[in-house]
């Protein structure tokens, strides 16, 4: 798989991302895996694209989301779709499992990293196959980690406490959704590049379900805000 920049000889290396997506939070629950992202793509500190679906369905039982450079996200979605298309050529009814996608992405990321031209992403691959839940993180270096819960970006700093207090791997779908909503609420308050509109998607035995975007509950009518109780205004 050759990128155009390599053919033209003008090798450019991704040194910093331009259009970026925020944190991804993914949890395993009793009967499936759920992934949540916000719907914002930032252009530096500008909230440029506020209605973006950042969770892609790769196959009937696999979904993919990532934080980082959004054009790399789009490219990865194309590359993962290519794998299943090649299955059509062989005509044998064998389709990649979620784990195949996860490992392929790890190999791809590692290859790019070795050329000092990484896919500037923290990737999350989630799926449900043969009765087993699958959730993996592939980072910018090509590190591959399977886990019961994954957080990328700022969620790794703010949300792990919430997840460890309110979630376990056998909770219900609704409980898992509530935990993710709570996490994004905190992220919206504390992460400058976060957005209050989020999207959830889950994979279970029946397949993939990507939900409509929803706004996180936020509360701004604190007395402190309303009456500026803690501030000394120069007019007073």
Task: Give the CA diameter of the chain.
Answer: 79
Q: How many residues does the chain have?
A: 236
String marking each residue 39-78 x if it binds other proteins according to CB under 8 A: ----------------------------------------
- Phi first, then psi: what are they for 38, rounded to 5°? -90, 180
CA distance 126 to 134: 5
Q: Specify the residue, 134 or 167, whose C-beta has the smaller distance to other proteins.
A: 134
Q: Specify the residue, 39 or 97, whose C-beta has the smaller distance to other proteins.
A: 97
Our finding on whether 97 is near other proteins (CB under 8 A) is yes
| Alpha-carbon torsion (121, 78, 19, 183), positive or negative | negative
Our finding on whether 220 is near other proteins (CB under 8 A) is no
Supply the minimum distance, in Å, between the C-beta of residue 94 and other proteins.
4
Segment contacting other proteins by CB under 8 A, of 7-15, 85-93, 156-164, 166-174: 85-93
Q: Name the token pair of 4.
A: 């155009």
Our finding on whether 79 is near other proteins (CB under 8 A) is no
Total number of residues binding other proteins (CB under 8 A)?
Answer: 11
| Alpha-carbon torsion (109, 149, 59, 77), positive or negative | negative
**Tokens 């029946």 -> residue:** 206
Q: Specify the residue, 34 or 106, whose C-beta has the smaller distance to other proteins.
A: 106
Asked if 20 is an active-site residue, the reply is no
How many other C-beta atoms lie within 10 A of the C-beta of residue 57? 18
Sites of contact with other proteins (CB under 8 A)? 90, 92-94, 96-97, 99-100, 103-104, 107
């Amino acid at each position: 798989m050759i990128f155009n920049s390599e053919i033209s000889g003008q090798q450019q290396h991704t040194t910093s991302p331009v259009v970026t997506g925020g944190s991804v939070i993914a949890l395993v629950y009793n009967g499936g895996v759920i992934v949540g992202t916000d719907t914002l793509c930032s252009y530096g500190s500008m909230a440029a694209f506020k209605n973006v679906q950042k969770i892609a369905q790769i196959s009937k039982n696999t979904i993919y989301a990532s934080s980082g450079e959004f054009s790399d996200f789009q490219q990865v979605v194309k590359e993962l779709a290519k794998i299943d298309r090649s299955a059509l050529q062989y005509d044998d009814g064998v389709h990649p499992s979620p784990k195949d996608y996860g490992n392929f992405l790890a190999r791809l990321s590692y290859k790019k990293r070795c050329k000092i031209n990484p896919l500037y992403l923290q990737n999350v691959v989630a799926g449900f196959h043969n009765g087993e839940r699958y959730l993996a993180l592939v980072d910018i270096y090509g590190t591959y980690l399977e886990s019961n819960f994954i957080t990328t970006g700022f969620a790794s700093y703010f949300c792990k406490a919430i997840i460890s207090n309110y979630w376990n791997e056998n909770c219900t779908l609704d409980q898992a959704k509530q935990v993710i909503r709570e996490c994004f609420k905190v992220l919206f308050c504390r992460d400058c590049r976060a957005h209050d509109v989020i999207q959830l998607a889950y994979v279970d035995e029946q397949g993939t379900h990507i939900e409509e975007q929803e706004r996180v509950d936020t509360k701004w009518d604190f007395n402190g805000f309303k009456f500026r109780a803690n501030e000394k205004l120069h007019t007073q």
